[in-house]
Structure 1
Amino acid sequence: MFRIGVHNRAFTRRAFGQLRFNSTKAPGEFTWVDYFQLKKQNSRLNMFSGAVTGVLGSALTLGYLGNIEIDVEKPIFGFDPLMVMGGTVILGGLVGYLVGPFMGSAVFKMMHRSKMAQFEVRNKEFLQRLRRNRPDPSSQSFSNPIPDYYGEKIYSLKDYQQWLRDCNAFRRKAKEFL
Protein backbone atom coordinates (compact mmCIF):
# COMPACT_ATOMS: atom_id res chain seq x y z
CA MET A 1 0.00 0.00 0.00
CA PHE A 2 1.30 3.44 -0.94
CA ARG A 3 1.30 6.10 1.78
CA ILE A 4 1.79 9.80 1.22
CA GLY A 5 4.23 10.95 3.82
CA VAL A 6 6.16 14.16 4.29
CA HIS A 7 8.87 12.94 1.95
CA ASN A 8 6.38 12.06 -0.80
CA ARG A 9 4.59 15.44 -0.54
CA ALA A 10 7.88 17.27 -1.02
CA PHE A 11 8.57 15.08 -4.05
CA THR A 12 5.19 15.96 -5.56
CA ARG A 13 5.77 19.68 -5.00
CA ARG A 14 9.16 19.45 -6.67
CA ALA A 15 7.80 17.40 -9.55
CA PHE A 16 4.72 19.53 -10.21
CA GLY A 17 5.91 22.88 -8.90
CA GLN A 18 6.73 24.12 -12.39
CA LEU A 19 3.24 23.48 -13.78
CA ARG A 20 0.48 26.07 -13.66
CA PHE A 21 -2.86 24.43 -13.13
CA ASN A 22 -4.93 27.62 -13.21
CA SER A 23 -3.58 28.93 -16.50
CA THR A 24 -6.07 30.72 -18.73
CA LYS A 25 -4.20 29.90 -21.95
CA ALA A 26 -4.66 26.55 -23.61
CA PRO A 27 -1.47 24.99 -25.01
CA GLY A 28 -2.26 25.75 -28.69
CA GLU A 29 -4.22 28.95 -28.20
CA PHE A 30 -3.13 32.12 -29.98
CA THR A 31 -3.84 35.08 -27.70
CA TRP A 32 -3.93 38.80 -28.39
CA VAL A 33 -0.61 39.18 -26.61
CA ASP A 34 0.92 36.67 -29.04
CA TYR A 35 -0.66 38.53 -31.96
CA PHE A 36 0.74 41.90 -30.88
CA GLN A 37 4.20 40.40 -30.34
CA LEU A 38 4.19 38.95 -33.85
CA LYS A 39 2.81 42.19 -35.29
CA LYS A 40 5.65 44.13 -33.67
CA GLN A 41 8.20 41.61 -34.91
CA ASN A 42 6.77 41.81 -38.44
CA SER A 43 6.89 45.60 -38.41
CA ARG A 44 10.49 45.69 -37.19
CA LEU A 45 11.56 43.06 -39.71
CA ASN A 46 9.93 45.02 -42.55
CA MET A 47 11.60 48.25 -41.42
CA PHE A 48 15.00 46.57 -41.16
CA SER A 49 14.70 44.84 -44.53
CA GLY A 50 13.56 48.12 -46.11
CA ALA A 51 16.66 49.89 -44.80
CA VAL A 52 18.97 47.10 -45.94
CA THR A 53 17.47 46.88 -49.44
CA GLY A 54 17.50 50.69 -49.70
CA VAL A 55 21.22 50.78 -49.03
CA LEU A 56 21.76 47.87 -51.44
CA GLY A 57 19.68 49.59 -54.13
CA SER A 58 21.74 52.77 -53.79
CA ALA A 59 24.99 50.82 -53.84
CA LEU A 60 23.99 48.82 -56.92
CA THR A 61 22.87 51.96 -58.75
CA LEU A 62 26.07 53.76 -57.82
CA GLY A 63 28.14 50.75 -58.91
CA TYR A 64 26.38 50.63 -62.26
CA LEU A 65 26.64 54.38 -62.89
CA GLY A 66 30.28 54.35 -61.86
CA ASN A 67 31.11 51.91 -64.64
CA ILE A 68 29.50 53.67 -67.58
CA GLU A 69 31.05 56.52 -69.53
CA ILE A 70 29.19 59.81 -69.38
CA ASP A 71 30.29 63.02 -71.05
CA VAL A 72 30.05 65.58 -68.25
CA GLU A 73 29.80 68.45 -70.72
CA LYS A 74 26.64 67.15 -72.45
CA PRO A 75 23.41 67.62 -70.56
CA ILE A 76 21.11 64.63 -69.99
CA PHE A 77 17.46 65.58 -70.59
CA GLY A 78 18.56 69.18 -70.22
CA PHE A 79 20.10 68.65 -66.77
CA ASP A 80 23.65 68.48 -65.47
CA PRO A 81 24.88 64.83 -65.72
CA LEU A 82 26.12 64.78 -62.11
CA MET A 83 22.70 65.90 -60.87
CA VAL A 84 21.01 63.20 -62.95
CA MET A 85 23.41 60.57 -61.59
CA GLY A 86 22.83 61.72 -57.99
CA GLY A 87 19.07 61.62 -58.52
CA THR A 88 19.35 58.16 -60.04
CA VAL A 89 21.28 56.88 -57.01
CA ILE A 90 18.61 58.31 -54.70
CA LEU A 91 15.88 56.79 -56.88
CA GLY A 92 17.63 53.40 -56.73
CA GLY A 93 17.69 53.65 -52.93
CA LEU A 94 13.99 54.53 -52.80
CA VAL A 95 13.07 51.61 -55.04
CA GLY A 96 15.16 49.33 -52.84
CA TYR A 97 13.44 50.70 -49.74
CA LEU A 98 10.03 49.98 -51.25
CA VAL A 99 11.02 46.41 -52.18
CA GLY A 100 12.30 45.68 -48.66
CA PRO A 101 8.97 45.12 -46.86
CA PHE A 102 7.95 42.51 -49.45
CA MET A 103 11.10 40.58 -48.66
CA GLY A 104 10.62 41.14 -44.92
CA SER A 105 7.07 39.82 -45.06
CA ALA A 106 8.21 36.72 -46.94
CA VAL A 107 10.91 36.05 -44.33
CA PHE A 108 8.39 36.64 -41.52
CA LYS A 109 5.93 34.18 -43.07
CA MET A 110 8.65 31.55 -43.44
CA MET A 111 9.80 32.04 -39.83
CA HIS A 112 6.28 31.72 -38.39
CA ARG A 113 4.72 29.30 -40.85
CA SER A 114 2.92 27.32 -38.14
CA LYS A 115 1.26 30.42 -36.63
CA MET A 116 0.37 32.28 -39.83
CA ALA A 117 -3.22 31.02 -40.11
CA GLN A 118 -3.97 32.11 -36.54
CA PHE A 119 -2.10 35.38 -37.07
CA GLU A 120 -4.17 36.18 -40.16
CA VAL A 121 -7.42 35.45 -38.30
CA ARG A 122 -6.38 37.74 -35.43
CA ASN A 123 -5.24 40.40 -37.90
CA LYS A 124 -8.65 40.33 -39.59
CA GLU A 125 -10.37 40.62 -36.19
CA PHE A 126 -8.06 43.49 -35.21
CA LEU A 127 -8.76 45.41 -38.41
CA GLN A 128 -12.51 44.91 -37.94
CA ARG A 129 -12.21 46.31 -34.40
CA LEU A 130 -10.30 49.29 -35.77
CA ARG A 131 -12.99 49.98 -38.38
CA ARG A 132 -15.73 49.66 -35.80
CA ASN A 133 -14.09 51.97 -33.22
CA ARG A 134 -12.46 54.45 -35.57
CA PRO A 135 -13.88 57.98 -35.38
CA ASP A 136 -15.10 59.92 -38.41
CA PRO A 137 -12.10 61.75 -39.90
CA SER A 138 -14.19 64.45 -41.54
CA SER A 139 -14.26 66.42 -38.29
CA GLN A 140 -10.50 66.56 -37.80
CA SER A 141 -8.70 69.86 -37.65
CA PHE A 142 -5.23 71.18 -37.01
CA SER A 143 -5.97 71.47 -33.28
CA ASN A 144 -7.80 68.11 -33.13
CA PRO A 145 -5.97 65.54 -35.30
CA ILE A 146 -7.41 62.05 -35.67
CA PRO A 147 -5.52 59.41 -33.62
CA ASP A 148 -3.60 56.73 -35.58
CA TYR A 149 -6.26 56.05 -38.24
CA TYR A 150 -4.87 52.67 -39.35
CA GLY A 151 -3.64 51.47 -35.95
CA GLU A 152 -0.05 51.18 -37.12
CA LYS A 153 1.37 52.17 -33.73
CA ILE A 154 -0.64 49.64 -31.71
CA TYR A 155 1.69 46.88 -30.50
CA SER A 156 0.11 45.85 -27.19
CA LEU A 157 -3.18 45.70 -25.37
CA LYS A 158 -2.15 48.80 -23.44
CA ASP A 159 -1.56 50.66 -26.72
CA TYR A 160 -4.98 49.52 -27.98
CA GLN A 161 -6.70 50.75 -24.82
CA GLN A 162 -4.91 54.08 -25.13
CA TRP A 163 -5.99 54.29 -28.77
CA LEU A 164 -9.60 53.73 -27.73
CA ARG A 165 -9.32 56.51 -25.13
CA ASP A 166 -7.78 58.82 -27.74
CA CYS A 167 -10.59 58.05 -30.18
CA ASN A 168 -13.21 58.82 -27.53
CA ALA A 169 -11.43 62.08 -26.69
CA PHE A 170 -11.38 62.96 -30.41
CA ARG A 171 -15.13 62.28 -30.70
CA ARG A 172 -15.86 64.36 -27.60
CA LYS A 173 -13.77 67.31 -28.82
CA ALA A 174 -15.31 67.09 -32.30
CA LYS A 175 -18.83 67.13 -30.82
CA GLU A 176 -18.11 70.01 -28.45
CA PHE A 177 -16.48 72.29 -31.00
CA LEU A 178 -18.83 71.74 -33.96
Structure 2
Amino acid sequence: MNGDTFHNRNSSSSTLSKRNSTERKGDVTEMKKKSASATATEVGGYGRWLGNAYFMKWRMEDVFGVVKYHPIPCIFAASLLFFMGVEYTLRMIPASAPPFDLGFIVTVPLNRLLAAKPALNTLFAGLNTVFVAMQTAYILGTFLIEGRPRATISALFMFTFRGILGYATQLPLPEGSISQ
Protein backbone atom coordinates (compact mmCIF):
# COMPACT_ATOMS: atom_id res chain seq x y z
CA MET A 1 0.00 0.00 0.00
CA ASN A 2 1.51 3.26 -1.09
CA GLY A 3 -0.95 5.99 -0.09
CA ASP A 4 -2.00 6.75 -3.71
CA THR A 5 -4.70 4.12 -3.57
CA PHE A 6 -7.58 3.98 -1.15
CA HIS A 7 -9.07 0.64 -0.15
CA ASN A 8 -12.67 0.67 0.95
CA ARG A 9 -12.96 -2.15 3.42
CA ASN A 10 -16.60 -1.59 4.28
CA SER A 11 -17.98 -2.53 0.86
CA SER A 12 -16.41 -5.98 0.76
CA SER A 13 -16.70 -6.86 4.43
CA SER A 14 -20.26 -8.18 4.15
CA THR A 15 -19.33 -10.36 1.18
CA LEU A 16 -16.27 -11.60 3.02
CA SER A 17 -18.22 -12.47 6.16
CA LYS A 18 -20.87 -14.35 4.13
CA ARG A 19 -18.14 -16.31 2.33
CA ASN A 20 -16.36 -17.12 5.61
CA SER A 21 -19.65 -18.25 7.15
CA THR A 22 -20.28 -20.59 4.21
CA GLU A 23 -16.71 -21.89 4.33
CA ARG A 24 -16.99 -22.51 8.07
CA LYS A 25 -20.14 -24.59 7.58
CA GLY A 26 -18.35 -26.56 4.87
CA ASP A 27 -15.35 -27.03 7.17
CA VAL A 28 -17.58 -28.49 9.88
CA THR A 29 -19.06 -30.94 7.38
CA GLU A 30 -15.60 -31.86 6.14
CA MET A 31 -14.36 -32.29 9.70
CA LYS A 32 -17.25 -34.68 10.45
CA LYS A 33 -16.37 -36.71 7.36
CA LYS A 34 -12.69 -36.76 8.34
CA SER A 35 -13.45 -37.82 11.91
CA ALA A 36 -15.61 -40.69 10.65
CA SER A 37 -12.83 -41.87 8.36
CA ALA A 38 -10.26 -41.35 11.14
CA THR A 39 -12.14 -43.75 13.41
CA ALA A 40 -12.12 -46.32 10.62
CA THR A 41 -8.37 -45.79 10.31
CA GLU A 42 -7.92 -46.12 14.07
CA VAL A 43 -9.62 -49.50 13.95
CA GLY A 44 -6.96 -50.58 11.45
CA GLY A 45 -4.33 -49.77 14.07
CA TYR A 46 -2.85 -46.58 12.69
CA GLY A 47 -4.56 -43.89 14.73
CA ARG A 48 -4.79 -40.23 13.87
CA TRP A 49 -1.16 -39.31 14.39
CA LEU A 50 0.10 -42.04 12.05
CA GLY A 51 -2.58 -41.37 9.46
CA ASN A 52 -1.08 -37.91 8.89
CA ALA A 53 2.48 -39.19 8.82
CA TYR A 54 4.60 -38.19 5.86
CA PHE A 55 5.54 -41.73 4.85
CA MET A 56 1.89 -42.84 4.76
CA LYS A 57 1.46 -40.71 1.63
CA TRP A 58 4.33 -42.40 -0.23
CA ARG A 59 3.71 -44.32 -3.42
CA MET A 60 6.07 -46.88 -4.93
CA GLU A 61 7.34 -44.20 -7.32
CA ASP A 62 8.29 -42.08 -4.29
CA VAL A 63 10.22 -44.94 -2.68
CA PHE A 64 12.13 -45.67 -5.88
CA GLY A 65 12.55 -41.92 -6.42
CA VAL A 66 14.49 -41.70 -3.15
CA VAL A 67 16.98 -44.23 -4.49
CA LYS A 68 17.10 -42.56 -7.90
CA TYR A 69 17.32 -38.91 -6.87
CA HIS A 70 19.07 -39.23 -3.50
CA PRO A 71 21.69 -41.98 -3.90
CA ILE A 72 24.14 -40.69 -1.29
CA PRO A 73 21.77 -41.04 1.72
CA CYS A 74 20.83 -44.50 0.39
CA ILE A 75 24.53 -45.45 0.24
CA PHE A 76 24.92 -44.19 3.81
CA ALA A 77 21.93 -46.31 4.92
CA ALA A 78 23.35 -49.43 3.24
CA SER A 79 26.82 -48.81 4.69
CA LEU A 80 25.28 -48.28 8.14
CA LEU A 81 23.77 -51.75 8.00
CA PHE A 82 27.01 -53.22 6.65
CA PHE A 83 29.20 -51.67 9.35
CA MET A 84 26.75 -52.65 12.08
CA GLY A 85 27.25 -56.25 11.00
CA VAL A 86 31.02 -55.83 10.76
CA GLU A 87 31.35 -54.06 14.10
CA TYR A 88 29.33 -56.60 16.08
CA THR A 89 31.08 -59.64 14.58
CA LEU A 90 34.62 -58.25 14.74
CA ARG A 91 37.15 -60.25 16.77
CA MET A 92 38.99 -58.22 19.38
CA ILE A 93 42.76 -57.92 19.42
CA PRO A 94 44.23 -60.09 22.22
CA ALA A 95 45.20 -58.44 25.48
CA SER A 96 48.83 -59.48 25.00
CA ALA A 97 49.32 -56.62 22.51
CA PRO A 98 49.42 -53.50 24.72
CA PRO A 99 48.64 -50.24 22.90
CA PHE A 100 48.82 -46.76 24.31
CA ASP A 101 45.23 -45.58 24.66
CA LEU A 102 44.64 -42.40 26.61
CA GLY A 103 40.96 -43.28 27.08
CA PHE A 104 41.83 -46.39 29.10
CA ILE A 105 44.38 -44.48 31.19
CA VAL A 106 42.06 -41.59 32.06
CA THR A 107 39.13 -43.86 32.94
CA VAL A 108 41.00 -46.22 35.31
CA PRO A 109 39.15 -44.87 38.41
CA LEU A 110 35.79 -45.21 36.67
CA ASN A 111 36.71 -48.73 35.53
CA ARG A 112 37.57 -49.68 39.14
CA LEU A 113 34.28 -48.26 40.40
CA LEU A 114 32.24 -50.12 37.78
CA ALA A 115 34.17 -53.36 38.42
CA ALA A 116 33.44 -53.06 42.15
CA LYS A 117 29.73 -52.30 41.55
CA PRO A 118 28.34 -54.39 38.69
CA ALA A 119 24.83 -53.07 39.30
CA LEU A 120 26.06 -49.54 38.54
CA ASN A 121 27.69 -50.81 35.35
CA THR A 122 24.38 -52.43 34.34
CA LEU A 123 22.50 -49.21 35.15
CA PHE A 124 24.85 -47.13 32.98
CA ALA A 125 24.57 -49.66 30.14
CA GLY A 126 20.77 -49.48 30.41
CA LEU A 127 20.79 -45.68 30.39
CA ASN A 128 23.00 -45.75 27.30
CA THR A 129 20.50 -48.05 25.59
CA VAL A 130 17.59 -45.76 26.52
CA PHE A 131 19.51 -42.73 25.22
CA VAL A 132 20.27 -44.43 21.89
CA ALA A 133 16.63 -45.59 21.57
CA MET A 134 15.40 -42.03 22.16
CA GLN A 135 17.80 -40.69 19.52
CA THR A 136 16.66 -43.35 17.07
CA ALA A 137 12.99 -42.58 17.71
CA TYR A 138 13.62 -38.86 17.15
CA ILE A 139 15.59 -39.43 13.96
CA LEU A 140 13.03 -41.81 12.48
CA GLY A 141 10.15 -39.64 13.67
CA THR A 142 11.46 -36.50 12.00
CA PHE A 143 11.82 -38.36 8.71
CA LEU A 144 8.87 -40.74 8.64
CA ILE A 145 6.25 -38.68 10.50
CA GLU A 146 7.21 -35.07 9.78
CA GLY A 147 9.00 -35.53 6.47
CA ARG A 148 12.18 -33.69 7.53
CA PRO A 149 15.18 -35.75 6.34
CA ARG A 150 18.04 -33.65 7.76
CA ALA A 151 18.43 -35.56 11.06
CA THR A 152 18.24 -38.91 9.26
CA ILE A 153 20.86 -37.94 6.69
CA SER A 154 23.13 -36.59 9.45
CA ALA A 155 22.80 -39.79 11.50
CA LEU A 156 23.46 -42.01 8.49
CA PHE A 157 26.53 -39.94 7.62
CA MET A 158 27.83 -40.01 11.19
CA PHE A 159 27.31 -43.73 11.81
CA THR A 160 28.75 -44.66 8.42
CA PHE A 161 32.02 -42.92 9.15
CA ARG A 162 31.94 -44.11 12.76
CA GLY A 163 31.79 -47.66 11.40
CA ILE A 164 34.64 -47.03 8.97
CA LEU A 165 36.85 -45.51 11.67
CA GLY A 166 35.86 -48.17 14.20
CA TYR A 167 36.94 -50.88 11.79
CA ALA A 168 40.16 -49.07 10.87
CA THR A 169 41.26 -48.33 14.45
CA GLN A 170 40.93 -51.54 16.43
CA LEU A 171 42.43 -51.51 19.87
CA PRO A 172 42.94 -54.50 22.16
CA LEU A 173 41.06 -54.58 25.43
CA PRO A 174 43.19 -54.32 28.55
CA GLU A 175 43.33 -57.45 30.70
CA GLY A 176 41.11 -56.11 33.50
CA SER A 177 38.41 -54.65 31.25
CA ILE A 178 34.75 -55.18 32.14
CA SER A 179 33.83 -55.64 28.45
CA GLN A 180 35.67 -58.95 28.02
TM-score scaled to structure 2, two decimals?
0.27
> Larger relative contact order (C-alpha < 8 A, sep ≥ 6)?
2
> Greater share of helix residues, 1 or 2?
2
